Amino acid sequence: MKRLLVRLAWLLNSFVVLSISPWVNASSEYNMTQGVTEISGQVYELHMLIFYICCAIAFVVFGVMFYSILRHRKSKGAVAAHFHESTKVEILWTIIPIIILIAMAIPATKTLIAMEDTSQSELTVKITGSQWKWHYSYFGEDVEFFSLLATSDKEIEGIEVKGAHYLLEVDKPLVLPVDRKVRFLMTSDDVIHSWWVPAFAVKKDTIPGFINEAWTKIDEPGVYRGQCAELCGRAHGFMPIVVHAMAEDEFDAWLAEQKELTIAAQQAAQDALDASLSLEELNTIGEEVYKTRCAVCHQANGEGIPGAFPAIKGSPVALGDVDVHIDTIVYGRGGTAMQAFDNQLTEKEIAAVVTYQRNAWGNDTGDVVQASDVNAYKVKQSGGAEGSADEAQSDAKEQL
């Protein structure tokens, strides 16, 4: 009978272990994915090691428990022993857990140290989070850009069928080379965000006024997706991350192309100062800028969200002095969610969106603002008109 009970206990434990093994080993949504970097592989192996240790502990504990329950059941006439201590047992159940914890702590500590070691990096990228987009800047390369959600409004509103990467697609992905150690410097312009790409085992908070560091070295080319993992406001779910990893020679070619595009964009911005666009041309450009940069707060209909984001439709800013309107977009408004777009939009785009806002939704001021007007206003603020920027901001707050 004793042998039968032992066999039953082992059979029960074996059934439990075997039943969960396919679940553990399968690449499924229920288990951690292994990732495409060396550090993500270490994290995965550490995760599985701890999991197997927990399974082994459960196997022993439940095995002893079930054996004791069956072996000493009342129907067998078992009589409880009367004792109150065992020094040997107490020493064992103190030493064994210590050994187990040390066995887990050593690889865990090594992995954590490796995760924080950003030395000997070959490329540095500054990542800045802001509501609700990412700004990437390649140190020493004169290449930077904003990465915004590319999912269409029709998908979000349910008019069109949602795509395979719904809310996980951007207009400009972060491009990185494989087989190079890349260091990330992370900060934020407004609130706390968190840059998270599971395939890299990288998740780091971006905090205003602080610089956090992380790193990755991608083993396989491909497209990898993540998202902001810190609740950061109304459009928190609209901050996807897309990383395009490519071969080193392809990355070098891409980087050279981006430098040429930057030079061309600077020349185009200079040429725009001499251009004079029609109201229709400015409205067309301004509408696109408004959809991608303004509508998330002020809404597509310009009516904003009462108590959170002011309306532009019928707004004193949109109907009032043009300089105040330009100042609001260029320099933002301290203490509010209104960001400064001076380093995010070109002077042509600022002029276009100001023109659009002053002529959409029944505002109909007829005002036409050119890139040269925006440039002249910025020169005036940075030049001899001391205090004029503060005055413009004060006027804007009064109008709001």
Query: Rounded mean pLDDT of 85-104?
Result: 91
Q: Residue 202 pLDDT more than 60?
A: yes
Percent of the chain with pLDDT over 70: 88
- What is the 3-state secondary structure of 8-35? HHHHHHHHHHHHHHHHHHCCCCCCCCCC
Q: Domain residues of the chain, as ranges?
A: 2-75+84-116, 123-152+166-262, 273-399
CA distance 375 to 372: 5
Q: Which residue has the higher pLDDT, 9 or 269?
A: 269
Instruction: State residue 33's pLDDT score.
Output: 86
Q: Residue 397 pLDDT more than 80?
A: no
Q: Which residue has the higher pLDDT, 158 or 24?
A: 158
> Contact at 8 Å (CB) between 232 and 131?
yes
CA distance 373 to 326: 9
DSSP letters of 368-379? ---HHHHHHHHH
Instruction: State residue 395's pLDDT score.
Output: 47
Nearest 10 degrees: Cα torsion 388, 389, 390, 395 = 90
Q: Residue 15 pLDDT more than 70?
A: no
> Confidence class of residue 392 from pLDDT cuts 50, 70 and 90?
very low
Average pLDDT, the chain: 87
Query: Rounded mean pLDDT of 357-369?
Result: 91
Query: Rounded mean pLDDT of 314-328?
Result: 91
Instruction: State residue 149's pLDDT score.
Output: 92
Q: Which of 367, 309, 376 shows the shortest CA–CA distance to 338?
A: 309
Q: Which residue has the higher pLDDT, 295 or 26?
A: 295
Q: Residue 24 pLDDT more than 50?
A: no
> Confidence class of residue 388 from pLDDT cuts 50, 70 and 90?
very low
DSSP letters of 146-165? EE-B---HHHHTTSS---TT
* CATH superfamily of domain region 123-152+166-262: Cupredoxins -  blue copper proteins (2.60.40.420)
One-letter amino acid for residue 160 of the chain: E
Residue-wise pLDDT tens digits, 27-75:
557 788 889 999 999 999 999 999 999 999 999 999 999 998 888 887 8
Query: Rounded mean pLDDT of 248-272?
Result: 91
Domain 273-399 sits in CATH at 1.10.760.10
> Confidence class of residue 332 from pLDDT cuts 50, 70 and 90?
confident
Query: Rounded mean pLDDT of 164-193?
Result: 95
CA distance 208 to 130: 9
Domain at 2-75+84-116, CATH class: mainly alpha
| pTM, to two decimals | 0.77
Residue-wise pLDDT tens digits, 104-150:
999 999 999 999 999 999 999 999 999 889 999 999 998 999 999 99
Reading the block at residue 11, the tokens are 């059979």
Query: Rounded mean pLDDT of 316-339?
Result: 89
